[in-house]
Structure 1
Amino acid sequence: MKKPTIDGFWQRWVNRRLPRSDRQTFSQKNLFILPTGAGVMFGALLLIMLITGINYQNSLIYMLTFVLGGVFVGAMHQTHRNLAGLTLALSRAGEAVAGGTVPFSLRLTAGKDDAIAVHVSSGGSLPVWVSVPAGQSRDVSVLVWAPRRGYVRPDRIRIETRYPFGLLKAWSWLRPVSAGLAFAKPITVPELSATAEDGENEAVASVQAGSDSADLRPWREGDSSQRVLWKRFARTGQLVVADWQGQTGDPQWLDFQAFIGASSEMRLSYLAFLVDDRQRLDVRYGLSLPGQLIEPDSGAAHAVRCQRALAVWGREKPRDKEPRRFGSRLKSTGADLESLDVASSGSPQ
């Protein structure tokens, strides 16, 4: 059992104070403010000046200390006010290939005061600086790192300001509900990257007669023996089939089960490459995944649909754990009582 830590307590407290939402309006309930390094040094200087003034009973030092102290207090109110009333909303969770960054489009809407020199970031991404006039909106895009395919949802998107003097920083977070997508990273299929050799050129040429394009793929049950490249089989022991697609021919199927011996992630990467290749050739194709079948079609919209299916295959949408409810603390509702009555009536006597 893990021992509770200060960081763990802090994270849970922040999560309770900032529940997940695609829209957050900042106020004194969810804004945090602390001195920066320069602010700490400034406070230490004021303390030294105050001690010096008390020691020498110097009215000029007193006056300068209190004036600078007033500047510090005024900066604290202005820094907090710079974010108070500002609304940060997630406009769109983007899509990108795994191993890159997924863009999250955000909209900042200022309240009755200007929001000056505000920066928004997520994790280790570079901050995006923006100033929002009172009553107006500005759109920004934050890049979130996506190391692997699937759903991408940042735990927190940070908003911060150090205006006007950099002596204090006020910050908060948006904890979005919506998630972006990281597509499977395309990897060239070995059979497609290989070129036809020797008599295979002739075999492919004969197969291509009356068609527009041909590809080499592993043999699948039900394929005609006339399509098999027997010279390659004699040389390598691999059954390779010449597959073609004409404008009036039958649509090609991209099958998850076709890549025997490859891991699931490798198969998805192969299929992602084939989807891009089919889109480039502008031919009809379908996608067959375990538990899912996408009918043959063509075009950019069909390619995006297939890439999304590959991205989320075997993945579950991110969701937060719900608090556990214990019997003595659970208040019975009418629906609960009704379900208990139905259960008791159906049980044997």
Structure 2
Amino acid sequence: MASALAEIWQRLRDSQKQRIYILPTRAGYAYAGLMLLMLLGAINYNNSLGHLLSFLLVSLGHVTMHHSHRNLRQLTLRVTPLEPVFCQQLARFKLTIINEDSRDRFQLEVAHKKQQPGARWKIFKAYEPIQKVTHIEADNTCFCTLEVPTQRRGWHSLNTLRLASLYPLGLFYSWTLYPQTAKVLVYPQAKGKLPLPSPPAGGKQRLKGEQLGDDDFAGLRSYREGEPMHRVAWKALARDNVMRSKQFSSPEGHELQLRWQDLDNLVDTEAKLSQLTNWVMQADRAGHRYGLQIPGTQIEADSGPQHQHRCLKTLALYHG
């Protein structure tokens, strides 16, 4: 008995935390006006059938309002950020909608709050729809991906999500708000016309990984996380179940330094960051070891996915 009362009390508290707002739509106002005209006509002509039909339709509208409100109750939203993106690309979030009730849910719309100043005072225009969910079964979970446009580098927050519905007849618009803290890292745009800096005289070279050609095989070494799978020595793996990478003796790449001061001809800070981002991508594709030097930060030369992410993150969060 005590546990049942505690569960009821917890549900009551949770329902109070989630405020659900509801307003008539244009169709709802037209419906109400039609009901009023029918009722006035029935009163004027003392028509019993008109009274019956008017009250029946009013009752239908009242029941519709309750169903619209109940369609958003006991829904939980969870948002998980996905991989970083470049500026002007779509930031992606994984959305999980949990239906904790024994009733199905229908016609749900997910919208996110725009980041433009001035739109926050307009409750309907401040949110932009980004996903629609037609049906969630009772006691079930729905997974989908949210894609949000990005306009600047740095951390991109999803802000507040609005879950809305016109169910069941479109006479009422109900919605509830879910504040979010999920954010995705947005790299600067990878653009710029300048070529990669030339390596210093006598610059270091390193051995490259497996590739097509007549290069001499240099041996095996332990596999490092993030290396391409085509470098794996599959025959050796099948023999002793130890993962190794192939090495070849032909030289590949140089050690480059991507420096802020080499871009003095670019006046705009964002243009410099975009050019450095483009250099990082080019150097990584070419297999070079590269370092990054910007005001206040210096990253030693290295290579690989983790090093690339570290450099791009530094550029994304730069404040000059």
Q: Tell me the TM-score normalized by structure 1.
A: 0.64
Q: Deviations over 1:252-310 (max 9, x none)?
A: 12112221132321111011001110121122112222222223221223222221221
- 4+ aligned runs moved over 6 Å, structure 1: 210-213
Residue 33 (structure 1) shift: 0.5
| Residue identity (%) | 29
The correspondence for 1:116, drawn from 83, 88, 106, is: 106
Matches within 5 A, 1:219-298: 247=251, 251-262=255-266, 263-298=268-303
Q: Give the aligned partner of residue 67 of structure 1.
A: 56
Report the CA distance shift for 1:26/1:176 in structure 2 as closer, same or farther (over 3 A).
farther
Report the CA distance shift for 1:29/1:250 in structure 2 as closer, same or farther (over 3 A).
closer
Maintained 8 Å contact 1:83/1:161: yes
2: distance between equivalents of 1:187 and 1:249?
22
Q: CA RMSD in A?
A: 3.0
Maintained 8 Å contact 2:207/2:252: no
Residue 156 (structure 1) shift: 2.2
- What is the letter of the counterpart of residue 185 of structure 1? Q
Does 1:151 pair with 2:155?
yes
SS of match in other structure, 1:254: strand
Does 1:49 pair with 2:38?
yes
Q: Give the aligned partner of residue 312 of structure 1.
A: 317
Q: Tell me the TM-score normalized by structure 2.
A: 0.70
Q: Give the aligned partner of residue 188 of structure 2.
A: 184
Q: Give the aligned partner of residue 128 of structure 1.
A: 131
Residue 126 (structure 1) shift: 4.4
Does 1:86 pair with 2:75?
yes
The correspondence for 1:303, drawn from 305, 308, 311, is: 308
1: distance between equivalents of 2:104 and 2:36?
33
Residue 191 (structure 1) shift: 4.0
- What is the letter of the counterpart of residue 163 of structure 1? Y
Maintained 8 Å contact 2:22/2:175: yes
Matches within 5 A, 1:323-334: none
Maintained 8 Å contact 1:125/1:144: no
Q: Give the aligned partner of residue 120 of structure 2.
A: none
- What is the letter of the counterpart of residue 271 of structure 2? M
Q: Deviations over 1:114-156 (max 9, x none)?
A: 2211111224644311122122111222222211112212432
Q: Which has the larger share of strand?
A: 2
Q: Which runs of 5+ in 2 are unaligned?
A: 1-13, 115-126, 209-249
Does 1:97 pair with 2:105?
no
Q: Which has the higher contact order (CA 8 A, sep 6+)?
A: 2
2: distance between equivalents of 1:31 and 1:97?
36
Report the CA distance shift for 1:94/1:249 in structure 2 as closer, same or farther (over 3 A).
closer
Maintained 8 Å contact 1:93/1:178: no
Q: Which runs of 5+ in 1 are unaligned?
A: 1-24, 194-202, 214-245, 316-349
The correspondence for 1:166, drawn from 144, 163, 170, is: 170
Maintained 8 Å contact 1:153/1:177: yes
